[in-house]
Amino acid sequence: MRNKIWIALFTIAALLALKNCTDSWTGIVYPDRSNLSNFKNIGEFKSLDECRNESIYFLRRISAQYLGDFECGLNCNGATCEETSK
């Protein structure tokens, strides 16, 4: 019985550690920063820097680098993210 408890605790600890290794950043781009209901999810990225770079690149591609905005969300699930950053 005691071994099963240790195995369960080890498994839980390993899963929590693994979750922290799989963080992903979701890029959301707003072509017009005055209209936040118009947005585009441009994908998931392994790092915040990658998300930022791709967001800026996307805004430049659509000629919205001065009118638009973006945000990057950490480990998003639908419209909820653990944190957002620019």
Rounded CA-CA distance 42/49 in Å is 14
18-48 pLDDT per residue, tens: 455 689 999 999 999 999 999 999 999 999 9
| Structural domain includes residue 2 | no
| Structural domain includes residue 13 | no
Which domain covers residue 27, as residue numbers? 23-85
| Structural domain includes residue 58 | yes
| Structural domain includes residue 44 | yes
41-85 pLDDT per residue, tens: 999 999 999 999 999 999 999 999 999 999 999 999 988 999 999
Strand order in 25-30's β-sheet? 40-45, 25-30, 69-74, 83-85
| Structural domain includes residue 29 | yes
| Structural domain includes residue 6 | no
| Structural domain includes residue 11 | no
| Structural domain includes residue 52 | yes
What is the pLDDT at residue 43? 97
